[in-house]
Structures are given as C-alpha cells and as structure tokens.
Amino acid sequence: MPLSQTSAAHRSANPMDYRALSGFYDGVFAPNGEVRPECRSLVSFINKTGIEGLQSLQRDADLSLLNQGITFTVYADDRGTEKIFPFDVIPRVITAERWEKLTLGLRQRLQAINLLLQDIYSEQRIIKEKIIPAELIAQSAHFCRATMGVEVPKGVYVHVAGVDLIENESGAFVVLEDNLRVPSGVSYLLENRIVMSRVLPDLLKRHRVRRVDHYPQILLDALRSMSSNSNPVIVVLTPGIYNSAYFEHSYLAAQMGVQLVEGRDLLVDGNHLFMKTTSGLKPVDVVYRRVDDEFIDPIAFRSDSMLGVPGLANAYRKGNVILANAPGTGVVDDKAMYAFIPDAIRFYLNEEPLLKQVPTYMGRRSEDLPYILSHLEELVIKPTDGSGGYGLLVGSMASQKELSDTKRAIEQAPEKFVAQPIQRLSTLPTLVGTKSADVAPRHVDLRPFCISRGVDDIEVLPGGLTRVALRKGNLVVNSSQGGGSKDTWVLQDQGQS
Amino acid sequence: MLSRLARGLYDLGRVVERAQHVARILEVNHKMSLERTASDEGEIWSAISDSFSCHLAAPDERGLYATLICSPDHPYSVLRCVAEARDEGRSMREQISEEMWLHLNRTHLELQSMTYERVMVIGRSEFNRRIEIFADALHGLADDTMIRDESWAFLRLGKLIERALMVCRILDIKRKSVASHSDGRPVDVYQWQALLRSLSGYEPYRRAYDARVVPQRVLEFVLQNPDFPRSLTCTLSDIQTTLSFISSSSERQANLGLTVIELIEELQSIDAQLIVALGSLEQEVNALERACSEIEKAVEIAYFTSLRPSSVPIVISPGAGLVPQQ
C-alpha cells in the first residue's frame, strides 16, 4: 500500500501526509499529488487540527449520534441491540459543476425509468419493438400483476429513488444500482448534516454548502401532489420497530408531520383504505410505504405476512389509494434489466444516456457468453435473481475451485447469470484506527435521493449518502460489512447565493 | 389519534403504575413480617399469592419475590412491567417526551440483567424504593414535559384505571388476611395500617384523622376521601376528568363517562360503619372490583377497537384478492 513512509509522530503532526492509492480516483488529491482546488480549505483545516483534534471531533460526533438514538438494529443479535451507524467526520466535497452534470443524468435516467414502467404495465411497446426480450419481464420475480393496467397519477411509479453510484478511475460517476423499491438511508444523510453543523460549524459555513434539510418538505409536497384530494391524508407505512430502518420511518413521519402507521393500524372496507383511530375510522389517501411489495397485502401477495393490509391491492387497483412507490417497480430494479436502461433512454427520450453505467455481460446473449467464461478472474459474477450480494462472486478474490464451480453453473444455465468488470471504487481521506489513528484512503460510493413529482419533474436532493468501507482495501460499503458514512457537501454555484 | 398508539400509551401508564404497587405491597408486608409470629406471616403471603394468581404451593416471601419481582412471564412481575414499559416507549418515541424516553431507557438498562439473587444483594427495600421512584418520576415527567393532548390523557387514563383496580386488590388482600380475626387484636390493627401503607396513605390518614387506626375510618379514607389521590373516589374523579380530555364522538364513549359518575355516586353512599358491623367487606370489595373491571372493559371497547363501518361481508377466494359479496 503506497502510504506515507514517514514516522507515526510525524504523521500525527501532519495528518494530510497522505498518499492516494494509485489506479483509483481520489476525491481530494489529483493523481499528481496536488490538492483539488475545491478541497484546499478542507485540507488546510485537517492539517491545522491534527490527528488528535480530529479524534476529538469524531468523539463529539459519535456521542451526538448515540444520545439521539440514531441507531439501526443488528438482526444477528437476538437481544435486538441498537447500534450507531459509523460516521466519519471528514466530509466529501463535490463541486457545483460536477453535481449539475450528475443531476441532469439522474433526471434523464429516472424519466426513462418511469416511462419504461408505464410501458411495461400497459402497452409493452418496448417488448413489441424487440428492444427488451419479453421473457425478461415474464420471468422477473418483481413483476407485479396487480399494477397491470392501473393508471397511476402523473405517470409516476418511482416517487423516491436512491441510485447507487461510484466514481471510476477518471472520476466520472457510474450507476451501479437503481434502488427503485424502498430505498433507505436518507435519514442518515440528514442527521449527518446536523451532526456536522454541531461539530464543525465554521468549516461548513466557509464551504457554502447547499442545504439538504428541506428533503421531508419535498417528499411531502410530492406525495400531496399525487392525490386528487386537495387536503389528502398521508401516512408512512412501516413494518414496525423491529425493522432495521425503523428509525428512518419514524424520523420521516415526524419530519413530514404525518402519521406513522403499521399494517394493523389500517383496514380496507369497500375498497377504501382507513386507519383505526380513537374516534373511529379515518380515510387515508396516500401511503408512503416502507414495506416491500410482497408484504403489503396478505391476500394479493404473501398470505403468511401480517405486515400489510388485507385488500390494499384491490383498493389500489380501484384508484382509491396511492402507493408510493408503486408496487412492481422492482421489475426494472433487476440485474438483467439494468443492462437495458440505456436502450430505454434512447427508446423513450431519443437521447444518449448522460450517465455511464457498468458494462454488463449477459449469460443469455450468445455473443457475451464466451467472454464471460474466459474472463472469470476479471469479472464480478451475479445471479440475476439474487439481491443484497447473495451468491455474488468476485473473480479476482475467488479460489480455483470457486471459479471452476461457477464456470460449470454458468455453462448449465447461462441465462441465470450476468457479469460485470470489477469496479475500482474511488477513495476519500478517512479517519481510521483508534489507538494509532491516521487519515488514510478508503473506498466510497454515493447514494443521491431523487423525488419524482411528475415524469419530467424530478428533484435531486443536493447531497447524498456517501458510504465508506472502513476496512482497508475493502470494496464493499454496506453497513453489514463494516461500512460507515460521511457527510456529502455539494458546493453552491459561484453565482448562487 | 391512532387506536394502537392510544392503547400503547394506556398500557404504558398501566404497567408503570402496576410495578409501583406490587413493589410497595411487597415492601410493606416485608416490613410487617419482621415483627410477626410465623403463624401470622403465612396468611399474608398466601393472601398476596392468591390475589395475584401466583399459584405457589407454599407461598412465602422468597417465592413471591421470585414471581412478583423477577418472573419474566407473570403479568404482575415488576421486571416484566419495566421491560414492557420500555418496549412501549420505544415503539412510541415520538408520542412521549425525550425526558421520559431517557428515563425509561436508563431504568431498562439498569434492570435488564436483574435476578432474584441480585435483588437480595441490593436489598429488598432498596430495590423496591428504586421501583417506586422510577414510577413516580415517570408520571411526574409525563405531567411536566408532555403536551396535554390525547396522548397524555391516555397515559394518565392507564395509570388511573390500574390504580382503581389495585385499590380493590389491596382491599381484597387485607380482607383475606384478616377475615378470620377482625377483633381488634394488635395484629388486626397492624394489618389495617398495612392497608394504608400499601397506598402510601398512613401519613395522609393521620393528618385527616389521628394516629388511631380504626377500621371504619380506614375504609372511609380509602374508599371515599375525595382528596387523597389513591382513594377510590379520588381515582375515579381523576378518571372522569381525564376522559374529558379525550374526544367522545361515539355513544359508547359518552356512556363510559356516565358509568364512572354513577360509580362515584355509589361509593359515596357506602356506609363504612355498617360494613364493619356486618362483616360484609368481602361482598363490598367484590362488587367494587366488578364495577372497576367493567370500566376497564368499557375503555377498551370505546377506544381501542375500530369496527368496520359497513357490514359488507368479505369473501376470500384464493389468488383473486378481495371480492365484496353481491
């Protein structure tokens, strides 16, 4: 690891004696070792503060998160231990120019995705024109028959998306996953900013960072605008306190000033949705649901689940209640379908995609299959029906046996696999270690949150959840893999106030 | 407000009040047992065991502590009540104040690994005192930090309903342990005193009357005193006031208020002297217990069960979703 060779004592005097990893994009240092212009103020602050100063700020930040109970539940622990989501005090800085470019790309992508969903659940032109193979949709586990033929308000299926992006070697943003079902993490983004404004107010002010705290307002406005009722009753539907994201559900409900409900608080009568209150039944117009498709209605979907509301699917089909996101968005949020999003952008918008995405080789394509089989060591192999990293194989890290087993599996059922080149996630300086702390490069991704008020009215919150893999060399940023987060600072345009 | 949340707050109020009463009853009788003969002692523990359905073969203090303080299952176990209170608080954090949440959470963390042996190390009295302070502090925080809306009212309603039922239960324990010799022997006087102490009422009683413990006065004080917060009359008046904070849109809800007022009036007409003379405490206590249980049930039906507005029967046909029958 080409880190600084200087002594520990020297390092703590000068924490930014830091070497970026070669072959990876670093958010603070250009390849020639110079500090990127937008990060000069941050670097001089870190050098002035020193390692001990940073550690002290880190302790303040951790304490602030713990006291407020900003925690997630660890499923593996049967006592339901609540832990804080690790947080790194060194922020990520993104210039207005880069952000603007990213925003345009995200808007274009979500516009096409909403149009694609509308098409899939109505005429299916894209299939008839043979741009997307029909079996891709027919075989998808996330295709939702209940949504077929439903006219959703304003053509919006994906009200909230949390698109996962990485930066490639040259620093361009690349889409990794679209997360169109029930994306989470926005509460951490909002709380990270609150903690930073408490711990580093001067630095934040100096940077002229764009605000993120209006997110609940944007979300509420978007949800309200979906209803034909001028004063709609909106609720947030949560699976309950044992869900790992319960904190976020209760946080968003409180911030929006709407009721947080569980399935057992609701009932459907005569195809209308009601909540059970102390003064009888109150009609509900819009449900921002944080419960997965297969659990929202035990009659239409899984009968063994008590999380949902019997009859909700029928009320939805009748147009008496709005569900955000619409059931069935997962059909597009699929590893094989991902490969077709650029084609969908061209098909519906007649534009070239503005955002790059990771090239995907599909086992089902005869021209891709020989390449996959002969380049396993350089690829990440993903089963199309897997999620959450299950069944995923990173070729460069796999043993000979794993490689030959996977090869055999692909040969037997090539349509069940896709392959992507191993991604070189960008790095950011991060405070690591406790006893001998240091500022070292760690890999990051970025999840911006996008809210659709209409097919061509999409707002991207200027910020995003930056997740960081705290373990050295780790490319997986998930919190279950020891990942943490950083505050993301999108700078104001020079002309903006 | 949502019925589920109303019920959660109501249950929170109940379990906190319950933990306090159980701890105080055990504490009072523990102190009394220090100065009693073995034969008298057996009666009181079996009366408590019986009243709380502990199902102990040979009820003694140790068995009752193991059950009523430390059992993870018994609905009146103090540790179970504290754990339940914290769970309710966690699922309704936005309904209660930050101060209440911190208090619930801290107490939970302190008690979560508590065992019978640890209670003995800390000392019974010290442990019971902590439980009493926990409950007093929580209700105090509720009154001083919560907005006086329906959430607050349901929490308070839970506390008061539990208190009314507990007053009946304490009278029942007294009745069972004293019925055999209500003849003014010293042990009888101590037991009437224990009754007052079980409601933290001995000192207020002395102030209202004097230090002489007279059965008739004790009954009047516990049943009819309008100003002592743990008398049955005062508790019911508080229930009536609390109900006025809560919307009463249905007939059931309006009737509930009337039932409470009727019971207060009935209580006032009780003649304590006659009860003592006739030895009819058992019948009176049973009747009061029934009346309070009915109020408890009426609260549940009026506020926590929303019925379907229309009576369209619903037929579930496999895979076809909900189909209203034509």
Q: Could you say which architecture CATH assigns to the domain A359-421?
A: 2-Layer Sandwich (3.30)
| A320 near B CB under 8 A | no
The residue type at A71? T
Q: What is the pLDDT of residue B38?
A: 54
From the list A241, A270, A280, the residue facing B324 with the nearest CB is A270
Confirm if A383 and A391 have CB atoms less than 8 A apart: yes
For residue B326, being part of any structural domain is answered with no
Cα distance between residue B149 and residue B138, in whole Å? 17
Domain A98-190+208-349 indexed as CATH 3.40.50.11290: yes
For residue B309, being part of any structural domain is answered with no
* B310 pLDDT above the threshold of 70: no
Tens digits of per-residue pLDDT, B7-38? 999 999 999 999 999 999 999 988 887 776 65
Per the structure, the count of domains in chain B is: 1
Left (φ > 0), alpha (ψ -120 to 50) or beta: where does A69 sit? left
ipTM at complex level: 0.71
Please report which confidence band the pLDDT of residue B317 belongs to, taking 50, 70 and 90 as the band edges.
very low
Instruction: Tell me if B308 and A253 make a contact (CB, 8 A cut-off).
Output: no
Instruction: Tell me if B3 and A274 make a contact (CB, 8 A cut-off).
Output: no
For residue B49, being part of any structural domain is answered with yes
**Cα–Cα nearest to A309, from A239, A233, A246, A243:** A239
- What residues of chain B lie within 8 A of the CB of A268, using their CB? 322
Tens digits of per-residue pLDDT, A275-304? 999 888 999 999 999 999 888 888 877 777
Q: In chain A, whose CA is at the least distance from the CA of B88?
A: A241
Distance from the A300 Cα atom to the nearest Cα atom in chain B, whole angstroms: 5
* A4 pLDDT above the threshold of 80: no
| Domain range summary for chain A, segments of one domain joined by + | 98-190+208-349, 359-421
Element (H, E) at B264: helix B251-268
For residue B310, being part of any structural domain is answered with no
Place of tokens 């699917």: A313
Alpha helices in B112-149 (DSSP H): 116-122, 124-145
A235 strand-pairing partners:
A259, A287
**B38 HSE (CA, 13 A, CB side):** 0
Q: Is the pTM of this model over 0.90?
A: no
The residue type at A331? V
Tens digits of per-residue pLDDT, B134-156? 999 999 999 999 999 999 999 99
Instruction: Tell me if A281 and B306 make a contact (CB, 8 A cut-off).
Output: yes
Neighbouring C-beta atoms of residue B296, cutoff 10 Å:
14
- B7 to A92, A213, A493, B62, B164: CA distances (angstroms): 45, 33, 51, 34, 18
For residue B312, being part of any structural domain is answered with no
* A469 pLDDT above the threshold of 60: yes
For residue B316, being part of any structural domain is answered with no
Q: Which of A11-25, A92-106, A258-272, B54-68 has the lowest mean pLDDT?
A: A11-25
Q: Which of A336-350, A373-387, B110-124, B269-283 has the lowest mean pLDDT?
A: A373-387
Q: In chain A, whose CA is at the least distance from the CA of B105?
A: A69
Question: Token digits for B100?
Answer: 């209440």
> Number of A:B CB contacts under 8 A?
73
For residue B283, being part of any structural domain is answered with yes
Q: What is the pLDDT of residue B105?
A: 85
Place of tokens 């059922």: A413
Expressed as residue numbers, the domain containing B80 is: 3-303
From the list A241, A276, A299, the residue facing B91 with the nearest CB is A241
Q: What is the pLDDT of residue A15?
A: 58
* pLDDT > 70: percent of chain A: 90
Q: What is the pLDDT of residue B148?
A: 92
